[in-house]
Amino acid sequence: MEIKDEDFTKDGTVDLRGRPVLASKTGKWKACAFLVGYEAFERMAFYGIASNLVVYLTTQLHEDTVSSVRNVNNWSGAVWITPILGAYIADSYLGRFWTFTASSLIYVLGMVLLTLAVSIKFLKPTCANGVCTKATTSQVAFIYTALYTIAIGAGGTKPNISTFGADQFDDLNPNEKRLKASFFNWWMFSAFSGALLATLVLVYIQENLSWGLGYGIPTVGLIVSLFIFYMGTPIYRHKVRKTKSPAGELVRVFINAVANRKYDLPSNSSMLHEFDRQYYISTGKRQVLYTPMFRFLDKAAIKQEGTNISRQPCTVTQVECVKLVLGMAMIWAVTLIPSTIWAQVNTLFVKQGTTMNRHLGPTFQIPAASLGSFVTLSMLISVPMYDRYFVPFMRKKTGNPRGITLLQRLGIGFVIQIIAIAIAYAVEMKRLQVIKRHHIFGHGEIVPMTIFYLLPQYVLLGIADVFNAIGLLEFFYDQSPEDMQSLGTTFFTSGIGVGNFLNSFLVTVVDQITGRNGGKSWIGNNLNDSHLDYYYGFLMVLSALNLVLFLLASTKYIYKTEFSKVEGCDVEMEGKGLEVSTLGLQV
């Protein structure tokens, strides 16, 4: 059977050897099926650690509340910050597949070390009659070495596995583009499944059977999922890097703009330097159309007359790529407070839960960290409802293939988060009232109030994440320059990382300020004699102010608009800002 040009993918993707691939035999959901297993096990491993790490640090290593919260936030922040380096390596040197391959092995090594740290007798504190000795310096060093080895491995896996999955769909094929519209929803659904197993099963195993078994299960799962991942190698699609140094081109735009700062901009943007349409058709690159944002950068594309031209002007497309990065940075900045709110799930919410009645029946006691499973459960329920009901309903109303714009999706999620932290504030006030009524002020005393009072805040944060977590991942992938989509995705991961660091900073500063001169710390070791409600109220005010800033940033943001060549026709792929009509095609 003769193979025609139209049988190959239209976006120029290739196989691992660099050969063009057939659209019918590669990519799409059949390729992603080999990827989702890894994502589920990786999330199970991460949340199996993150959900209960604050408990391990306080009960096994005997760290105080503030130190344990700070250390969990710092580690979690590192896990989400290191993807910046991994994405840069992927976009500039190795590509997504090989960067992921090397990093996944480092990740597995870290999991093996962590399992050993909590399993082998001389690597963990000794315990007798329920009392554990303080961990030695070498024991603490070993467990943190294991944790930060995992963080390094995550740096190359997190930004590349999801973008590699999105690469399996051809943007220039209308049928595959429709499939891709649901990709991030269902990708995160698989991730949530792994997180659910972690918070329901692994946390219980860790606290009631063995920490070593609780970490060993996801370690074995990761290894198995990697074997499955490589089974799909023959049908994977790989993006061809069309720019040697994407980051270098960004720097060149800034240099040219500064060098041309004394020149006046032309009255019409068409007078700026740009290659003709045929150049983009022949090279397979995408032309990014002019936008009026950050106009100072337009000076990098000013054409200079005469023979003594000191430097080659940048193209409008190159300038617009820098504008995209700056625009994403603007949105990124207003996601930090929401990430700080989410950091409470694995830290203060857990410590709060340990003070409450956790019994189901006369003997069974729920691990405090297991309540995090309701975040995941609400996500798992909400994702199909969002994808199958909300999007089609809103699509009919707006004409937008996504139902609502990406920034509108984020805004809805941020509002739900504010409601969640307001409920957390109200529940903590109720807990303190019960404490006062029953005269319970001792450290470790259980408050006669069921832990399920915390349930609404967990459920609401799960629903919020369907809007803002998935929305952010899709937004940063979608709005990134073509050759920087791994690096663009790290706007999502780094926002979570900085949010964790910010929470660590806030907890430390608030504790020092409120506890100085013998005062009562808002976040003391004894939460029964603290004012955690004040801290939640503080976060609620920050979140409300941040929402105002988000709305201001959204009105200024302009979605990227591209032209590409498909089957002899010019196809415009564009998006609208939050403040304008959502009619038309948005990508």
The pLDDT assigned to 569 comes to 46
Whole-angstrom Cα distance, residue 4 to residue 561? 30
> For residue 563, what are the β-bridge partners?
287, 572
Token digits of residue 192: 């949530």
* Chain mean position to CA 463: 16
Q: What is the pLDDT of residue 533?
A: 87
Regions in the chain scoring below 50 on pLDDT: 307, 566-587
List of residues 6+ apart from 175 with CB closer than 8 A: none
pLDDT of residue 21: 86
Residue 131, burial from CB neighbour count under 10 angstroms (0-12, 13-18, 19+):
exposed
The dihedral through the CA atoms of 181, 155, 52, 351 has a sign that is negative
Distance CA 551, CA 577 (A): 11
State how far the Cα of 278 lies from the Cα of 316, in Å rounded to an integer.
Answer: 15
Q: H-helix or E-strand containing 98?
A: helix 95-117
What is the structure's pLDDT at 400?
80
Q: Are residues 489 and 159 in contact, defined by beta-carbon separation less than 8 angstroms?
A: yes
pLDDT in tens, 242-294: 666 677 778 889 988 898 888 888 888 888 888 888 887 777 778 888 888 88
Through-space distance between the first and last CA atoms of the chain, rounded to whole angstroms: 36
Q: What is the largest CA-CA distance in the chain?
A: 89
The Cα-based distances of 15 to 20, 159, 483 in angstroms read 6, 20, 17
Q: What is the pLDDT of residue 581?
A: 28
